[in-house]
A and B are shown apart, each in its own frame.
Chain A
Amino acid sequence: MIHQRGICAKRSIRLVSTLFACALLSVQGLHAQGGGDPTAGKKLFNANCASCHKLDRKLIGPPLRNIAQQRSLAWLHKWIRNNAALRDSGDRDALAIFEEYKGQIMTAFPQLSDQQIDDILAYTSQPAAQPKAVTAASAAPTSGTAASNTGISTKAFNLILLAIIALLLVIIILMTRVLKMVYEMKYEDRLRELERQKAAKKRLSFVEFFEKYTPGFVFFGLLLFGVAMYGAWVYLTAIDVNTGYEPIQPIAFSHRIHAGENKINCLYCHSSARHSKTAGIPSVNVCMNCHRYIAEGAETGTREIAKIYKAIGWDPEQQAYIPNYKTRPIKWVKVHNLPDFVYFNHAQHVVMGQIACQTCHGPVETMDTVYQYSKLTMGWCINCHRLTDVQMKDNPYYEKIHEQLAAKYGVKKVTEAMMGGLECGRCHY
């Protein structure tokens, strides 16, 4: 307690009102501490109670900070041991709080000893951490990233570069003009003499000139033609190939955090890849499976997660869905786009072909925003069909076909191309 007061005193130099709140809380803490050990209590609380209670805000059940000041110790012990029995005994407080939470049932904890309950209560009686210092610390890095995002965009940068180049060109042109004028003024006579000599010489006509230097002409002509054709080829084949396309999404959703650091399976969110053509984007209720509890991210704080709540109409204060809320679907930008005249099926590749997502989509679990990793051209599909073996193990559907094809091509393994994966009609119809 003395230790905590020390901290309070230090902070209070900055703000008198905080000192007041602090002092008040620590007095209360002293009062309720009893024989409990708050450190052991914290562990017990996190293991047993944290799924339904937070200290300072409503979750499934009421906030528990300083509950020991609001209720008697005996009542609390009975309630936590077995709240149903307490209600059955007709206790009015117990029935009232049960009503208030619309009959949500709190688990009974007969296994907790008196000492353990005291520990938990000691933990709930600790003063709140200073919110000021916390927000200041966590706000700093966020604003830092925001600033780095608003640097000069590539487009503006390109424009400035072009302008500088244009300016330089103009300067060079002007300089040459001036130099030429100076030169002409200085050597006027000599120049005239030279011109007369030039005119005296017989001029080669173009045809004569060409006949004289034919091999050179042909060589350089071909070279130029080749380079031009190559340039045109590179340019034309890159049209509508979107490798590296990385649009900005409406919510800064990070695959690195979800699939990478927290190791969430791709199919947890993209669950329709198991059944259907589309891998699917998870609907907001899937996000809520975790984000009902996780209201704050380490990197963006509550800003981005609040957008999820806004989409589905979740009120984090009340811990309840807002009734009759008009939901606002999140407008994700589609990254991978095949043209309409191609049929591509995820279930066929992921379930039957047992191909890992990363083969086609690249290291998604390291991406903060998803970008297109593969080319998605026809050559890309065909190439893989030529090289990839069909997974026929444990698949009775393939048993007969496998033998026939293996005999037909005289090979042990059958590639997708042999199965007809190059036929136009499989992808275009």
Chain B
Amino acid sequence: MLSRRNITFWSVLWALLATACWTDKRDPNVQYMPNMYAAVPYEPYAVNRYYSNDMAALAPVPGTVPRGYTPYSLPNTNQGYEESRNLESPVAATDQNLRRGKYLFGIHCAICHGDKGDGQGQLSRTGKIPGVPNYKDRDISLGTVYHVIMYGRNIMGSYASQLTDTERWQVAQYVMKLRSQK
């Protein structure tokens, strides 16, 4: 029967069940004794309010040179572009490097420049990014391609943060291969 004790029992049970259900997916689920779940050191991309910008990930001091890395000395100017024309690649144009270049080109460049380098990528065909050239119409060399990947050119941005030094040369080699193909 509906004695007072009965009523309390059922309402408490229902209340418990209701809170146990995870209905609002915008917030995370409940945790049970989350010791050692959260990292004590800073995670990548974590907030650190002691640093400027609040980011735990700091950029290296300007001028830092990682081990085994040759800094790129030409500046991002018209003159630098001209000087880059005669740069030699430190990476040999082997089959393996070209295959790697093709793979990376497919990820980072083909979206605008097209798989064949004809300027007919997905974004340029749909008109989202205008003025993507066919490599054959441009007077470019291995060095200038590297320079353009490093700094970008006009509306095209820099890819230095997504490609390592070696990868940049591999991609540049593949671009020159595409350009020489019919």
Contact = CB atoms under 8 A, between A and B. Distances in A.
A301 interface: no
B55 A246 contact: no
Contact of B32 (A158, A239, A328, A331): A239
A51 B45 contact: no
A103 B82 CA distance: 14
Nearest to A341: B36
A158 to B, nearest CB: 6
A286 B108 contact: no
Interface stretch (A70-78, A116-124, A260-268): A260-268
Interface in A267-314: 267-268, 271, 275, 278, 280-281, 283, 285-286, 288-290, 292-294
B61 interface: no
Contact of B37 (A153, A154, A176, A340): A340
A198 interface: no
Interface in B62-95: 78
A49 B25 contact: no
Given A52-B154, A60-B154, A329-B55, A371 B131 contact: no
Nearest to A231: B17
Given A268-B111, A292-B157, A46 B127 contact: yes
Contacts of B155: 51-52, 59-60, 292-293
B131 A50 contact: yes
Contacts of A281: 45
Contact of A265 (B38, B55, B107, B154): B107
Contact of A245 (B29, B38, B123, B129): B29
B2 interface: yes
Given A329-B54, A340-B36, A289 B157 contact: yes
B161 A154 contact: no
Contacts of B36: 339-341
A285 B32 contact: no
Interface in B90-107: 106-107
B12 interface: no
B145 to A, nearest CB: 16
Contacts of A406: none
A242 B28 contact: yes
B25 A371 contact: yes
Interface string B19-46: 0101111111111101011111000110
A329 B55 CA distance: 8
Contacts of B32: 236, 239-240
Given A105-B78, A292-B157, A240 B23 contact: no
A44 to B, nearest CB: 12
Nearest to B20: A235
Interface string A337-359: 10111000000000000000000
B127 to A, nearest CB: 7
A294 B32 CA distance: 45
Nearest to A283: B161
B132 interface: yes
Contacts of B55: 329
Given A240-B31, A278-B44, A245 B37 contact: no
Contacts of A328: 53
B47 interface: yes
A236 to B, nearest CB: 8
Contact of A262 (B23, B123, B132, B161): B123
A297 to B, nearest CB: 10
Interface string B140-182: 0000000000001011111101111000000000000000000
Contacts of B23: 154-155, 158
A241 interface: yes
A51 B131 contact: yes
A294 B128 contact: yes
Interface in A231-253: 235-236, 238-242, 244-248
Given A293-B129, A339-B37, A247 B26 contact: yes
A285 B161 contact: yes
B150 to A, nearest CB: 13
B25 A246 contact: yes
B98 to A, nearest CB: 16
A237 to B, nearest CB: 11
A168 interface: no
Interface string A133-165: 000000000000000000001110010001000
Given A271-B162, A290-B123, A340-B39, A239 B29 contact: yes
Contacts of B126: 262
A264 to B, nearest CB: 6
Contacts of B30: 239-240
Contacts of A337: 28
B2 A290 contact: no
Contact of A51 (B26, B47, B154): B154
Contacts of A340: 36-40
B29 A49 contact: no
Contacts of B162: 268, 271, 286
Given A51-B154, A154-B23, A158-B18, 10 more contacts: A162-B18, A264-B111, A265-B108, A267-B107, A268-B111, A293-B128, A294-B128, A327-B53, A339-B34, A340-B37
5 contacts: A51-B154, A51-B155, A278-B44, A280-B44, A340-B38
